[in-house]
Amino acid sequence: MQPLERIRVHLSVNGHAVSQLVDARRTLADFLRSDLGLPGTHIGCEQGVCGACTVLLDGVSVRSCLIFAAQLEGSAVETVEGLAGDALHPLQEAFHRNHALQCGYCSPGFLMAARDLLEENPSPSEAEIRVALSGQICRCTGYENIVQAVREAAGALQSEGRDA
């Protein structure tokens, strides 16, 4: 059996420069969780269906279980750990206030998909929110509270004059 090929990648993760050797077949999800110690990116189905592993790659939400870390040369990745600064991000606050969290397993994926939506469309309608989040699966909340939280966060961000 031949050893796995290792490739050095240089990228930004949550605004920090990273240069690391990765196995050629290491997924972004495993790279973030195991190699960089960022457990907020959850692994669910490992087939790109559930959305639990959603992160932002160069500003666009992607399923990190479907991307190899070796593909990320020069890219910028943002995980749920990158949302909060000194205080919770308005999306995180709104999820908390609206009880949009149950078991919490899907929450990081929803937060990152919602962040992508609000970057693209700071004032989405309820229908637009539902379409943007349609690829995220939650088995606990029934989605109503999640949609309400995204609407509230959009309003809060607009009133603060802040980008998502």
All structural domains of the chain with their residue ranges: 6-82, 90-160
How are the residues of the chain apportioned to helix, strand and coil, as percentages rounded to the nearest 5? 40, 20, 45
CATH topology of domain 90-160: DNA polymerase; domain 1 (1.10.150)
Mean pLDDT of 125-150: 93
Q: Give residue 103's Cα distance to chain centre.
A: 17
- Residue 2: predicted pLDDT: 60
Residue 1 has pLDDT above 60, yes or no: no
- What is the rounded CA–CA span in Å between residue 34 and residue 69? 12
Q: Token pair for residue 94?
A: 């709104």
pLDDT (tens digit per residue) in 80-122? 999 988 899 999 999 999 999 888 899 999 999 999 999 999 9
Residue type, 57: L
CATH topology of domain 6-82: Ubiquitin-like (UB roll) (3.10.20)
Do residues 133 and 150 make contact, with C-beta atoms less than 8 angstroms apart? yes
CB under 8 Å to 99, separation ≥6 — which residues? 141, 145
CB under 8 Å to 25, separation ≥6 — which residues? 4, 68, 70
Is the whole-model pTM more than 0.85? yes
